[in-house]
Amino acid sequence: MLKIDSYSLGPLQTNAYLLTNEETGKAIIIDPGMNPGALIKKIENLEIEAILLTHAHFDHMGGVDEIRKLKGCPVYLHDLESDWLTSPKLNGSLMWSQVSQPLSTDPAEYDLAGGQQLDLIGHQFACYHTPGHSPGSVSFLCGDHLFSGDVLFKLGVGRTDLHGGRERDLFDSIHNTLFTFKDEVKVYPGHGPRTTIGYERSNNPYV
Ligand SMILES: [Zn+2]
Ligand SMILES: [Zn+2]
């Protein structure tokens, strides 16, 4: 059984997702954001197999340094953002100085690309390249669970005015990738509540 817990972390209330295989006690974390104390408490007795990043904005990678050092787990990030973890300018923490220190950590251990299949904690995770909010944004599909980062929200979409963002790419990603999934697919976004592909297809005013 795959257990999915979410934690709203940091000043931008970024969703970190902890996915645990309850039989084995192995887990992965998607987007460990800033001030990850509550999450760190929860993973004390878990083996963390990987940290997956939907993209490298500071509010999604703010907890990477602490958790990676604590657990010795590798980080996966799309190669178009391979130099963002080391750069407060690229990851946005420099610009958002009112809510963040300049953040940096070592580069990711593994590059992601669209079309890749990851075999983690006994489950398959398909990686889809879904740029627009940022150039290396990806979404992860595991069974009927879609982790969409800052691409698609409940009744919203990601902003495209940050470094490397592009509005046309964002809408292409939503229409040509995310909206090819079944209505029943559950969406776990980077901010705000969960939704489904079907609900967004029918109700999202932006798409
Ligand atoms: Zn973002
Ligand atoms: Zn975000």
Say which CATH number the domain at 108 has: 3.60.15.10
The pTM (predicted TM-score) of the whole model is 0.98
Kindly give the distance from the C-alpha atom of residue 159 to the centroid of ligand 1, in angstroms, as a whole number: 8
Q: Which ligand is nearest to the CA of 159?
A: 1
Kindly give the distance from the C-alpha atom of residue 176 to the centroid of ligand 2, in angstroms, as a whole number: 22
Kindly give the distance from the C-alpha atom of residue 23 to the centroid of ligand 1, in angstroms, as a whole number: 33
Residue 203 has a pLDDT of: 98
**pLDDT class of 188 with cuts at 50, 70, 90:** very high
Q: Report the distance separating Cα 166 and Cα 26, nearest Å.
A: 37
Mean pLDDT of 176-188: 98
Kindly give the distance from the C-alpha atom of residue 54 to the centroid of ligand 2, in angstroms, as a whole number: 9
Kindly give the distance from the C-alpha atom of residue 161 to the centroid of ligand 2, in angstroms, as a whole number: 13
Q: Give the number of domains in the chain.
A: 1
Q: If you average pLDDT over every residue of the chain, what do you get?
A: 97
**Domain boundaries, position 59:** 2-203
Amino acid (one-letter) located at 106: D
- In the chain, what is the straight-line distance between the N-terminal and C-terminal CA atoms, in Å? 34
Per-residue tokens: 185: 């697919």
* E strand segments, the chain: 2-9, 14-21, 26-30, 47-52, 75-78, 110-112, 117-120, 123-129, 138-142, 145-149, 152-153, 156-157, 186-189, 195-196
The pLDDT tens digits for 96-152 are 999 999 999 999 999 999 999 999 999 999 999 999 999 999 999 999 999 999 999
Kindly give the distance from the C-alpha atom of residue 60 to the centroid of ligand 2, in angstroms, as a whole number: 6
Kindly give the distance from the C-alpha atom of residue 146 to the centroid of ligand 2, in angstroms, as a whole number: 16
Kindly give the distance from the C-alpha atom of residue 184 to the centroid of ligand 1, in angstroms, as a whole number: 25
The pLDDT tens digits for 35-78 are 999 999 999 999 999 999 999 999 999 999 999 999 999 999 99
Buried b / exposed e across 164-194, counting CB within 10 Å, b at 16+?
bbeeebbeebbeebbbebeeebebbbbbeee
Q: Report the distance separating Cα 126 and Cα 117, nearest Å.
A: 5
